Amino acid sequence: MANLLTVLRLVLIPVFVWARLSGLPGQRLVAAAIYGAAALTDLFDGIVARKTGTVTQFGRIADPLADRALVLSVLAVLVYTGDVPLWAASVVIGRDVLMVVGYKILQLKGLKPEVTYFGKVATAVVMIALALLILAAPFALLVFYVGMSLSVMSGLIYAWDAGRTIRAAREGEG
């Protein structure tokens, strides 16, 4: 069931892009609803997998890829429509790329990085900001900038923790 939610999130991405760029009446509201449904699958797939004991290798790989694909797609559309400056979208995407690369480096070293509460809050603020931007809500860009800033700070925290983890592992080997 959790994997189906992840696949549904991937399927909803092109539906969101079409809805937002369709030019149809109410496109922002329809696109926001589709985005909201996709974002909710992100929330629930992990919960379902843990509660049912059905965490799979597919889910471990596909879930974070689906998350990145959703955010990247929404940001690409928002840049295209002029709702988000390219530089701001690039900061969020760049931070995500660095996080994925850093996570993989730690995994290759046999280390398991931990997700922090601060990182989850930063992600939640960005996800909420994206919904507000889709709807062209007042202050949506300000909320996005707050989320972007929190995202960068969480990335710095992860980098600091990764450095400490690597140093501790090296000292443990010596």
What is the per-residue pLDDT across 43-73, written as a single tens digit (0 to 9) for each? 888 788 788 887 778 877 888 889 899 999 9
**For the residues 20-42, what does the mean pLDDT come to?**
94
What is the per-residue pLDDT across 120-141, written as a single tens digit (0 to 9) for each? 899 899 999 999 999 999 999 9
Whole-model pTM?
A: 0.89
**Under a CB-based contact definition with an 8 Å cutoff, are residues 102 and 162 in contact?**
yes
